[in-house]
A and B are shown apart, each in its own frame.
Chain A
Amino acid sequence: MSAPTRQGGLTSTGTGGVGDSPQRPDANLKVRGEFAYSSDLWHEDMLWGATLRSPHPHARIRGLDTSAALAVPGVYAVLTHEDVPGENIYGLEHPDQPVLAADVVRYQGEPIAIVAADHPETARRAAARVRVDYEVLDPVTDAAAALRADAPVLHPHNPGGNLVRHARIRHGSGPLTADVVVTGEYTVGMQDQAFLGPESGMAVPAEDGGLDLYIATQWLHADRRQIARALGMDEEKVRLHLAGVGGAFGAREDLSMQVHACLLALRTGKPVKIVYGREESFFGHVHRHPAVLRYEHGATRDGDLVYVRASMILDGGAYASTTAAVTGNAATLGAGPYQAPTVEIDCYGVYTNNPPCGAMRGFGAVQACFAYESQMDKLAQALGMSPVDVRVRNAVEQGSVMPTGQVVDSAAPVGELLALVRDRPLPPERGATFDLRELPGGVSNTTHGEGVVRGVGYGVGIKNVAFSEGFDDYSTARVRLEVTGGEPVVSVHTAAAEVGQGLVTLKAQIARTELGVARVVILPSDTAVGSAGSSSASRQSYVTGGAVRAACERVRADVLALAGGAAAGLAGGKVVDGAGVVLADLVEVLGEAVVEHTVEWRHRPTEALDPVTGQGFAHVQYAFAAHRAVVDVDVELGLVRVVELACAQDVGRAMNPDAVVGQIQGGSAQGLGLAVMEEIQVVGGVVRNPSFTDYLIPTVLDMPPMPIDVLERADPHAPYGLRGVGEPPTLSSTPAIVAAIRAATGKALTRVPVRPEHIVGD
């Protein structure tokens, strides 16, 4: 069958190498509303899929009857677990999740049956007619209780019972006593990635018995591996093509409708499209792990950390997803960007019957950062020091030893980042006249200045970049140089997912810098080339950027060999010598030749952690950002307006300075959301607010000016010296805002998001 109507390749012309900020090749399409997202896919003769989901967080399925659904006119197929030809199980790290539930459902919204029909409404109506006989079971909804010996075991084959992973860090042997000791228990609510483009894609059956899946995802090859296993099909027959992605933030790392669409397409022999609605989307992807974190910090009277102890429980929900890696992150980064001689951390990732949790921007480091930064403020208060001074005094720097024993072997300007945000001029105090839009409550007219108190707070965080703990983390790039239409053209082909972050722009910038060619074609991402790894963990500029550069270097070497003589480089469409003197036109040198290289590129290897001590070279790179938040709080109503959110971040090398600032603004906004509004409220395993009416994300009136300082301290291990950018600003934004609210209110505020009740409560 033919390919559906969708977004094709993107051509990037003109100028803009590494360090420039050329316009995105898809910018105009997106601004004009003409970009084809995965929900816009269209094919002649296509069917629509719909999913029947469990209303119960925990139930046994005693029987399934699809006959009434099949009887609906316009329905082509109704499938259940019995129709999964391969293994009815998938999962990113631990395959533990059924494609369609067989005998038990473990969370509200778990898929049970799927329907294909000639109209989406028909498919939904038919799905509602599938009869399921449930024996409702008590859900396990408290993560701490799930670890007790008497808790029902949700996954009988898991050797740890309801424990997915216990990450244990034991570092140093100093005393666990100190002059000044502060303790605290902190809670992080369940945040959602809240991408705007819902889960969607289209499966098209092919003549070879395989199929093509057009899909919005973060990692085509990881999807393919899991899909092929469920279909019982060779991976070569499952071809994935990236469709337009409307945001990701971790929520597209796990499968959603991928296998379902493939099953329906194979059964009906027709293209099948599935698009989730907004409410279904809240059940269609994993969320950020809610966490309870207990901390104890000991310090000398002068403010030097003596020890850090922490115990954290992360609620992974019904299926493991990436819980094990998230647990590892929270533990290894759990002491924050601080040097402490002795560290004891225990982090537990747990199964419950709550919604499954997995990857979200910050990935375990967000939860820990809220807790350790709250503790640093508490410590500063106990010591009578300023919050910045106590942080700077204990900040890691290049050469510091992390609690894993790993030496920080590139720039770590934590103290400098804090000083940058501290030394910025404060925004002006409120004047006598007011603009409602600048007051807590905004245009809702709740205050004209009454009860409004200003506060200032700080936060700094540490995030690992790329995949850790010994994961074989690589990307693949195919780069081709040839003369087309009388000019040299570079084609770049990877399987990396453009999720809005701007990798399409960056790949062209790298090609232009390395090959001195203006015209670069970014081919659509698909599985016809090797894996790029995931667009997550702030890793694609590093890893796919590294792969594109390495492939370009090989192409360049071949071209220089073709040119011969003193040829030493490519610039401006010419072959030049070592001094930059033009030797020949690239068009002439290439002639009819097509120079192409495919490179699989790896960052330096990491190691698994010692399971007992948590020691090991676990992370390839660390990244740091600091925030200063200035807030106005209406202390009588508990409403907050963030007045300014300043950020300083070290990015190693600003590959695309505009994109870097965009990432910092977006990450800061997501952190603000967690600080004051974003939470999936779950009671008894049931989601109470699966809509954008009641799951609130910041609007333009909630976001303040964000002055940004970008440091460029090159990491010699990384391509161009770059440091991953996307996640660090999400970490420190939240604790900085909460610290500012504490400063304004004097309240302890140990839970995020902070709700008005917490501010005005007794």
Chain B
Amino acid sequence: MKAATPEAVPIAGGTDVMVELNFDKRRPPALLDLGRVAELSGWRTDDGHVRLGATVPYARIVGELGDLLPGLAMAARTVGSPQIRNRGGVGGNLGSASPAGDAHPPLLATGATVELASVRGVRTVPADEFFLGPKRSVLAADELVTAVTVPSAAGPQQFAKVGTRNAMVIAVCSFGLALDTGTRRVGTGIGSAGPTPLRAAAAEDFAAEVLPWDDPPALTDEVAREFGELVAAAATPIDDVRGSAAYRRRALSVLARRTLRWAWQDVRVR
């Protein structure tokens, strides 16, 4: 159907699509209701990964995937209101490809892949190659986001989001962090501080290198601060109605510092 009417807009929870329709930002000739497509609405584990269907609502991610995908579950908890979390899912977040999408930082931090399907076949795209620009992605007109495949957590994960209200708020900036204590890698994802969600590659390399993975002591202030500064340096924020570029950079350095401390504390406890 998507191939036959590529201008049809797929809709699941409608979190973004209905806002655009209601505000008359777009007038698609057709909507493609994904609500009753069973293949999209479940998740399963598969060889150390979770294959998460595109329409699994955030509320289920919070309730069912807190152990396997803790970073994504924490991000899902910050999405909108209970009503929105009952309807919205990761597929729509990716389809909109907003730099402020809450699911994106944990997908980047964990090295998730996005599954795209069309009559031409199925392809998978690494999350950090999915986004092209503000609300632009590699998703072709005849394709649907069908699932994301996320490695099961191999270490502590964190997600933190700054908004000017204590609930139901779009990110001014956000940060996802995933530690892999087996491979000793550090993953990052920055939200709402650039044209797309971003990874902070230099910060990842720095942390992977200097973190004392063997018999871990407490994290030093120097490491936490340097990590925060490298994350802030990776961002390319703008001034907009939700906050200034300078504030976003500053807040990201604080979020990165704090989340690394929390994650590292978990490593030590384990």
Contacts and interface: CB of A to CB of B under 8 A. Distances in A.
Chains A and B bind each other: yes
Interface in B133-178: 158-170, 172
B243 A443 contact: no
A490 B247 CA distance: 62
Given A699-B165, A757-B247, A688 B258 contact: no
Contact of A445 (B160, B169, B254): B160
Nearest to B158: A445
Interface in A425-451: 437, 440-448, 450-451
Given A688-B241, A691-B23, A442 B166 contact: yes
B13 to A, nearest CB: 16
A756 B163 CA distance: 9
Contacts of B22: 277-278
A755 interface: yes
B255 interface: yes
A689 interface: yes
Nearest to A697: B165
Q: Which residue, of A451, A688, A755, has the highest number of chain B Cβ atoms within 10 A?
A: A755
A446 B165 CA distance: 12
Given A689-B241, A757-B246, A702 B78 contact: no
A694 B166 contact: no
B229 to A, nearest CB: 14
Interface stretch (A155-163, A200-208, A633-641, A730-738): A633-641
Contacts of B166: 437, 440-444, 639, 641, 699, 701-702
A450 B261 CA distance: 11
B74 interface: yes
Given A444-B161, A445-B78, A699-B166, A637 B243 contact: no
Interface in A742-762: 755-757, 760-761
A644 to B, nearest CB: 15
Interface string A694-733: 1010111110000000000000000000000000000000
A681 interface: yes
B251 interface: yes
A277 B246 CA distance: 34
A681 B164 CA distance: 14
B242 interface: yes
B244 interface: yes
Nearest to B159: A445
A698 B172 contact: no
Interface string A259-280: 0000000000000000001110
A450 B241 contact: no
Contact of A698 (B19, B160, B165): B165
B77 interface: yes
B254 A451 contact: yes
B85 to A, nearest CB: 11
A755 B258 CA distance: 21
Interface string B169-198: 110100000000000000000000000000
A728 to B, nearest CB: 25
Given A124-B24, A699-B167, A639 B241 contact: no
A761 B248 CA distance: 12
A693 interface: yes
A408 interface: no
Interface string B15-53: 000010011100000000000000000000000000000
A641 to B, nearest CB: 6
B102 to A, nearest CB: 9
A92 interface: no
A396 B251 CA distance: 44
Given A699-B165, A756-B172, A444 B160 contact: yes
Q: A-side binding surface: helix, strand, loop or mixed?
A: loop
A583 interface: no
Given A440-B166, A637-B251, A701-B167, A446 B243 contact: no
Contact of B162 (A451, A641, A694, A756): A756
A677 interface: yes
Interface in A641-693: 641, 676-677, 681, 688-689, 691, 693
B262 interface: yes
B250 interface: yes
B218 to A, nearest CB: 14
Contact of B167 (A124, A443, A636): A443
A504 to B, nearest CB: 30
Nearest to A634: B254
Interface residues of A, number: 40
A698 B168 CA distance: 10
Q: How large is the interface on B (under 10, 10 to 19, 20 to 34, 35 or more residues)?
A: 20 to 34
A447 B257 CA distance: 11
A242 B62 CA distance: 45
Contacts of A694: 170, 241-242
Nearest to B171: A444
A442 B255 CA distance: 14
B243 A757 contact: yes
Contact of A696 (B77, B159, B164): B164
A562 B246 CA distance: 79
A698 B165 CA distance: 7
A696 B169 contact: yes
Contact of B254 (A637, A691, A696): A637
A637 B167 contact: no
Contacts of A756: 162, 164, 172, 243, 247, 251
Q: Which residue, of B165, B242, B250, has the highest number of chain A Cβ atoms within 10 A?
A: B165
B77 A443 contact: yes
A340 B158 CA distance: 56
A444 B243 contact: no
A700 B243 CA distance: 23
Nearest to A450: B258
B241 A444 contact: no
Q: Which residue, of A442, A444, A694, A756, has the highest number of chain B Cβ atoms within 10 A?
A: A444
B262 A702 contact: no
Contacts of A448: 258, 262
A415 to B, nearest CB: 34
Contacts of A755: 164, 243
Contacts of B77: 443, 445
Q: Which residue, of B164, B172, B254, has the highest number of chain A Cβ atoms within 10 A?
A: B164
Nearest to B168: A699
A42 to B, nearest CB: 21
Nearest to A688: B241
Interface in B209-267: 241-244, 246-247, 250-251, 254-255, 258, 262
B160 A446 contact: yes
Nearest to A701: B167
B162 A639 contact: yes
Given A444-B78, A450-B258, A693 B167 contact: no
A701 B166 CA distance: 6
Contacts of A444: 78, 160-163, 166-167, 169
Contacts of B258: 446-448, 450
Contacts of B159: 445
Contacts of A279: 23
A444 B77 CA distance: 8
The 6 tightest CB contacts between A and B, nearest first, are A442-B166, A701-B167, A444-B161, A757-B247, A701-B166, A688-B241
10 contacts: A279-B23, A437-B166, A444-B166, A445-B77, A446-B258, A639-B166, A700-B167, A702-B167, A755-B164, A756-B172
Given A444-B160, A445-B160, A755-B243, 12 more contacts: A440-B166, A443-B77, A443-B78, A446-B161, A637-B162, A639-B164, A677-B165, A694-B242, A696-B165, A701-B166, A702-B167, A757-B244
